[in-house]
Amino acid sequence: MGGAGPSTRCAPQDVQCLHVSVFVAGRYNKFSRTLPQTPWVIDGERRMESSVEELITAPLLASFRSEGFNFCSSGREDVDVRTLGNGRPFAVELLNPHRAQFSRAEVRQLQEAINTSSDKVKVRDLQIVTREAVAHMKEGEEDKTKSYGALIWTQRPIEKEDIEFINNIKELKIAQKTPLRVLHRRPLAVRQRLIHTMTASYLNPHHFHLNLRTQAGTYIKEFVHGDFGRTKPNLCELMEADTDILELDVESVDVDWPPAVED
């Protein structure tokens, strides 16, 4: 007879523990003109040794022992553009981290590890944030102001009047057709943008430094050379001179997130 024992055996199930994502935010400077923001792969082949994304995430992945990541930032710069000043806000989602608790001192050590891993990228204001807070970075991005510094070449010699003329331009409305160089990844559209102010400083007869404060999303290179008439008006037209942009730096991204972290 026997008692009414269990009729089935207990079969152990696989137990999987996944930790929810941890979000780390900060601001980065990029001091190289040969560093892309994300890995640059063409036809399965790597074109550049590293990227902003890899330099920032490598120490994070190792310390959080996470299985992967998603990187996002407030806009992005071209491979040959530096990002100076206070830097560009970014956030990294660390997927399934095996360690999630870090003290302030440990987060600071992580920042130092990123800073010392190369001379191309430095980070500040590194902090652990919530998923919701990351949304602040993307809010009203289009209405923000960005400041740039550019080295401009002109074919004809620059006159004192050119400098004054540029410095007097305020709240200039421009229309930009999607630049030829990004047309393979962006839809064709015409975007209205504002150049709030420009400040020119004479360097020599064929070069001047141009400081621009513009609405976020303005294509600066195209505003200078005109992109075969796709940006109107452009600096060539305005100055009645052939002009080109030799160097470009982002000098500030006016997004007030993430909050500053005191040293």
Ligand X SMILES: *[C@@H]1O[C@H](CO)[C@@H](O)[C@H](O)[C@H]1NC(C)=O
Tell me: does residue 127 bind ligand X (CB under 6 A): no
224 near 152, Cβ under 8 Å?
Answer: yes
Stretch that binds ligand X, among 18-26, 107-115, 175-183, 227-235 (CB under 6 A): 107-115
Q: Single out the catalytic residue among 14, 78, 249, 263.
A: 78
Our CB check for ligand X shows the closer of 83 and 215 to be 83
Residues 6+ apart with CB under 8 A from 13: none
Expressed in angstroms, the distance from the first to the final Cα of the chain is 76
Gap between the Cα atoms of 171 and 208, Å rounded: 21
Our CB check for ligand X shows the closer of 59 and 226 to be 59
- 138-161 burial code (b ≥16 CB/10 A, e <16): eeeeeebbbbbbbebbbeeebeee
Tell me: does residue 122 bind ligand X (CB under 6 A): yes
- Does the active-site annotation cover 78? yes
Quote the tokens at residue 182. 């990004």
Subset of residues 11 to 30 that bind ligand X, contact rule: CB under 6 A = 29
Query: Using CB under 6 A, which of 19, 124, 144, 232 touches ligand X?
Result: 124
Q: Which residues pair with 200 in a beta bridge?
A: 210
Q: Which amino acid is at 10?
A: C
194 near 214, Cβ under 8 Å?
Answer: yes
Tell me: does residue 106 bind ligand X (CB under 6 A): no
Tell me: does residue 86 bind ligand X (CB under 6 A): no
Tell me: does residue 111 bind ligand X (CB under 6 A): yes
Tell me: does residue 82 bind ligand X (CB under 6 A): no
Tell me: does residue 108 bind ligand X (CB under 6 A): yes
Q: Which positions lie near ligand X, rule CB under 6 A? A: 29, 108, 111-112, 115, 122-124, 263
